[in-house]
Copies of this chain bind each other. A is one copy, B any other.
Amino acid sequence: MQKISPYTPPIVTVDAVIFRLNQTELEVLLIKRNEEPFAGSWALPGGYCAAGQTTIEALSIKVREKTSVDIDSDLKYMEQLYTFDTVDRDPRGHAVSVTYMGCSRDLEPKGGNSINAFYPVDRMPKLAYDHEAIIRYARERLGSKLTYTNAVYGLLDDKFTLSQLQTAYEAVFGRTLDKRNFRKKFHGLGLIHETGETWREGAHRPAQLYAFNSKELDVLDKSFD
């Protein structure tokens, strides 16, 4: 293989997989593309990264433009996911996409210059590029993050009930958990404390509200689940 000269670098793009929890479902933020390629298709929010910008800076700008979501203030948790670089993934030319994954709860996109909406991860429309594979990968990563870190806090409000907490795990793992074992195990981790407040809704006993002791991402001593 010969050297390519003069050197022209691939395009660098950024894309974000932003999850939220809606009732019992895990959802992803998507935008509707209004330009080619893939005009009319749904896709992850993202765009070009220019020299002098870090990928996260570029992502922050693009996501705010397109969806009005502010990565820094609206998301409790964000991490780099993977860099996708197959040559043919973008029909316009070789684009290397640095992808990120983040979480928020009760986030409603307020506008932006693209049509955008949250879709349940299990019932998504057909997506542009390789974005479906990226979302699948992000969901797996989120699942394993929840098993060995306290990253669930990213999906929950500051105060939450134990049922909501359990629902968050069930939505990400895609299976149900035993209520008593879940509570026993979680209390044993020492990550949360009672706030003393209760939450009442519907015709049943009110629930205690809990809060996390720390809002930093911590690695657990023992893995969960």
Residues in chain A within 8 A of chain B (CB atoms): 1, 4, 7-12, 48-57, 61, 80, 82-83, 85-87, 93-94, 96, 98, 223
Contacts and interface: CB of A to CB of B under 8 A. Distances in A.
B9 A55 contact: no
Contact of A50 (B8, B53, B54, B82): B8
A86 to B, nearest CB: 6
B98 A9 contact: no
Nearest to A82: B80
A52 B8 CA distance: 9
Given A1-B61, A61-B1, A80-B82, A52 B87 contact: yes
How many monomers of this protein are in the complex?
A: 2
A83 B98 contact: yes
B96 A10 contact: no
A138 to B, nearest CB: 15
B7 A9 contact: no
A66 to B, nearest CB: 13
B98 A96 contact: yes
A137 B10 CA distance: 26
A8 B52 CA distance: 9
Given A61-B1, A96-B98, A98-B96, A51 B9 contact: yes
Nearest to A86: B54
Contacts of A52: 4, 10, 87, 94
A201 to B, nearest CB: 39
Nearest to A14: B85
A207 B98 CA distance: 47
A208 to B, nearest CB: 32
Nearest to A12: B9
B9 A48 contact: yes
A51 B223 CA distance: 41
Contact of A98 (B48, B85, B86, B223): B85
Contact of A7 (B48, B61, B96, B98): B48
Given A54-B85, A82-B80, A10 B94 contact: no
B12 A10 contact: yes
A56, A86, A94 — most chain B CB neighbours (10 Å): A94
Contacts of A57: 1
